[in-house]
Amino acid sequence: MDARERFLATLLFQSPDRIPFEPGRPREKTLHRWHSEGLPESRPWFEYLTELLGIHPDPYDVELLQPGVNFRMIPTFEEKVLEHRDSHFIVQDWMGNITEISDEYDYTYIRSPKDFVTRKWHSFPVSGPEDFEQMKKRYNPDEGTRYPDDFKERLKVLKERRHPTCLNFSGPFWQMREWCGFEPLCMMFVEQPDFIREMASFWTEFISRVMAPVLEAGVVDCLLINEDMAYKEKCMISPAMTREFLAPSWKRWSREARQAGVPIIDEDSDGMVAGLIPIWIESGINCCCPMEVAAGNDIVAYRNRYGKQIAFRQGIDKRNIAKGGRVLEEELSRIFPVVQCGGFIPGCDHGVPHDISWPHFVRYAERLAECTGWL
């Protein structure tokens, strides 16, 4: 099987020859640590890791050809430092937010996060309908630069692809949070429901318009909807609000994707997603990630409850990878029954943090390679 066939067969509960080997991606501080513990600075980490293990898995930590569609605002806001005080930058980011970060980091980390960076938000670009009218001008679906210059050529090449292709965009909750800020948005759900409907409807139509040419070309294997909307114990809005305000977007995109032959609709949300999974299934979503264990997600229990209605990615407790030894072995044993029954690509349940040592990561990767059929 090639990488695309393996990816689809796994998540569709079929019979892959092996399961994709996707241990998780290290952040910048993690790589700094690993370089002091045996990973050569001159070698890409994944290439060196698989060489150590003696395996030749599908490409993972490399850039593979994708449709290259841009769903972000055009133009973006000017990025600029407004103030530098008390070891912090106060900046206007590309989304129009005024945010504060430690000067341990360059402010461009907000645009392209290479590490786990804590931020404080001061203000947001949309506080009401008037601001939103201005924001909408940045989301013209017919803006030509939303597609790469070689778009037609890419589509031709992707017809013969041997790796999975993905369209990755923000869901309605994620996008409205970027416009309005988390706390103001939550108040709007209660106090301004019509405005929430207006924003969600606009975003739904925008995404449908922009992704339509790619769907029509028949070169998409997966929609990945970014929708972080859960805390450690609960989702950020009630299931009732989720069904009312967000599910219509998911249902429309799922329907359009399925009509175009897209087999995987993947929903990405950190936090405890138990209250969201039933709504995702109702909305046509058949995969979710990253299944953070620290938030209480248990993919063994979810598999027992939902069977083959939904697949999973990631789901291995990063804390237990960091501990290594017997704890790590028990963690891999815990998730192995789900690996065996299909519909699961195991990996670290988010970015790989810097408290995971290189020796522990290598041992974890070795055990992961064994349970996914590469060793």
Task: Give the DSSP per-residue string, 179-214.
Answer: HH-HHHHHHHHHH-HHHHHHHHHHHHHHHHHHHHHH
**pLDDT in the model for residue 304:** 97
**Per-residue pLDDT at 22 exceeds 80:** yes
Residue 63 has pLDDT above 90, yes or no: no
Distance from the Cα of residue 18 to its chain's centroid: 23
At 204-253, the pLDDT tens digits run: 999 999 999 999 999 999 999 999 999 998 999 999 999 999 999 999 99
Compute CA distances 249 → 23, 197, 264, 285, whole Å.
31, 10, 16, 11
CA angle 188/255/234 to nearest 5° reads 40
pLDDT digits (tens, 9 = 90+) for 258-317: 999 999 999 999 999 999 999 999 999 999 999 999 999 999 999 999 999 999 999 999
Q: What is the pLDDT of residue 104?
A: 83
Residue 112 predicted with pLDDT over 80: no
Cross-strand pairs, 287: 266, 311
Instruction: Output the average pLDDT for the chain.
Output: 96
What is the per-residue pLDDT across 134-179, written as a single tens digit (0 to 9) for each? 999 999 999 999 999 999 999 999 999 999 999 999 999 999 999 9
Type of residue at 55: I
What structural domains and CATH numbers belong to the chain?
3-72+127-371 (3.20.20.210), 78-124 (no CATH)
**pLDDT at residue 360, as a whole number:** 98
Residue 202 confidence (pLDDT) above 90: yes
Cα dist from 160 to 69, 178, 209, 216, 219, whole Å = 19, 36, 25, 16, 9
What percentage of the chain reaches a pLDDT higher than 70? 100
Residues contacting 136, CB < 8 A, separation 6+: 202
pLDDT for 116 beyond 90: no
Q: In the prediction, which pLDDT does 103 show? A: 87
Region 335-363 average pLDDT: 96
- Say which range, 106-110, 292-296, 319-323, 344-348, has the weakest mean pLDDT: 106-110
Q: How confident is the model at residue 108 (pLDDT cuts 50, 70, 90)?
A: confident
> In 83-144, which ranges are continuous DSSP H helix?
129-136
12 CB-side CA count, 13 A = 15
